[in-house]
Chains A and B, each alone.
Chain A
């Protein structure tokens, strides 16, 4: 039974989040432990209480949330921090690709190298701009 529950949770974690689920997660990451009522009030659009409750319950069953009962209502809190969740998602994505056919693996690696190169290039450009501005400020200070 426990194994079945764990398996279901792992399957749930591997699934991508829907739009409402992502918004709910954002609310909980920002606010911490909240009731259904609290989350519903912060979604920025009117949604039925039951829709929010079902979404929270689904996220709980997927293993993304923890919950505890207070009086007659559940309080939900994120099981992972945002950084842990992003890391897990990236890890699952990479693992999925790397376990596929070799052509796919090579393509993924070449895309990553290219993306990293572009990232580096934009970072270096940003740093060069900062150096230029600092140099300008320094020479202005020297003149005055």
Chain B
């Protein structure tokens, strides 16, 4: 099929993005059991980083490949004018478009639901500075055991008034420390990034087990930070979790608002973990983070070489047929 210059670029970019994402997703899927097992022997925060990285690498690499190699190479080396595109390339582009659209719809839906719930909470609540808390908290009139973090870029802590009545001051402080840990780790933003990462095919995300494992480790990491290495703080958080689990459930908290209880099936495991001894949290800038930056710098040096652009363009030409 003959396509004009601009449309051909779109088709090639979508097809290349799809192929990179699919190839790396399958590689990550194959590595998932080993990575999850390895994460189990690491500290929660590092384990979360490892799994989040593995979940996002295929999509990030696809975006990088398209933005840094495909598009500049196309403008630099292609003659303006219509040219032929193979059916295989068009099929890959269609799949790439469908997978990206599915991810975008999922993320937009979650954003809309979270924003709607936040507006509802805000309308029925007020900002309060609770004793001993470093910042204000939204105390809202809502049914259910709500201790949550709402918002992506500037998240707000939300507590149901009934929860304040049920928890002791120590338990409430632990619960809020847990949510603050999520806020400091920007976990809502990470959740949005995960949602925006296209699946292998629309409706078929092979990396779902990694996503679920990451969510669990993110909760554990926030538990560790809330416990601050103190047995009594760990105990207060465990007690808060059990008390909240006993409360009558309200409407489910939307995907982009992190709730203290998280997945209900996890409460038992989290409490047992907290009772086993106050886990030490890791410092913010670990050695792994420095290695990560070094790795990115190395990758950037490689991909900015003109020869890499030529090589990528050659690959695109083969894909276009």
Contacts and interface: CB of A to CB of B under 8 A. Distances in A.
A131 B246 contact: no
A94 B66 CA distance: 47
A123 B232 CA distance: 22
Contact of A134 (B246, B267, B268, B275): B275
A124 B245 contact: yes
A128 interface: yes
Nearest to A133: B275
A8 interface: no
A131 B246 CA distance: 15
B246 A124 contact: yes
A120 to B, nearest CB: 8
Interface string B233-266: 0010011001001100000000000000000000
A127 B238 CA distance: 9
Q: From B242, B245, B272, name the one whose CB has the most chain A CB atoms within 10 angstroms.
A: B242
Interface in B189-243: 231-232, 235, 238-239, 242
A37 interface: no
Given A123-B268, A130-B275, A135 B235 contact: yes
B232 A131 contact: no
B235 A127 contact: no
A135 B235 CA distance: 7
Interface residues of B, number: 13
Contact of B268 (A127, A131, A135, A138): A127
A128 B235 contact: no
A131 B242 contact: yes
B271 to A, nearest CB: 5
A134 B271 CA distance: 12
A135 B238 CA distance: 11
Contacts of A130: 271-272, 275
A132 to B, nearest CB: 9
A130 B270 CA distance: 13
Contacts of B231: 138
Contacts of B242: 124, 127-128, 131
B232 A127 contact: no
A134 B245 contact: no
Given A123-B268, A138-B235, A131 B275 contact: yes
B239 A131 contact: yes
Nearest to A130: B275
Contacts of A135: 235
Contacts of A124: 242, 245-246
Contacts of A127: 238, 242, 267-268, 271-272
B261 to A, nearest CB: 12
A131 B245 contact: no
A112 B51 CA distance: 34
A60 B245 CA distance: 46
A2 B235 CA distance: 60
A74 B69 CA distance: 61
Interface in A110-129: 120, 123-124, 127-128
Nearest to A139: B232
Nearest to B231: A138
B232 A138 contact: yes
A123 B268 CA distance: 7
A139 to B, nearest CB: 9
Given A124-B242, A124-B246, A127-B272, 20 more contacts: A120-B245, A123-B268, A124-B245, A127-B238, A127-B242, A127-B267, A130-B271, A130-B272, A130-B275, A131-B238, A131-B239, A131-B242, A131-B271, A134-B235, A134-B238, A134-B275, A135-B235, A138-B231, A138-B232, A138-B235
Interface of B: 231-232, 235, 238-239, 242, 245-246, 267-268, 271-272, 275
The 9 closest A-B pairs by CB, nearest first: A127-B271, A127-B242, A131-B239, A134-B275, A123-B268, A131-B238, A130-B275, A128-B242, A124-B242
11 contacts: A120-B245, A127-B271, A128-B242, A130-B271, A130-B272, A131-B235, A131-B239, A131-B275, A134-B235, A135-B235, A138-B232
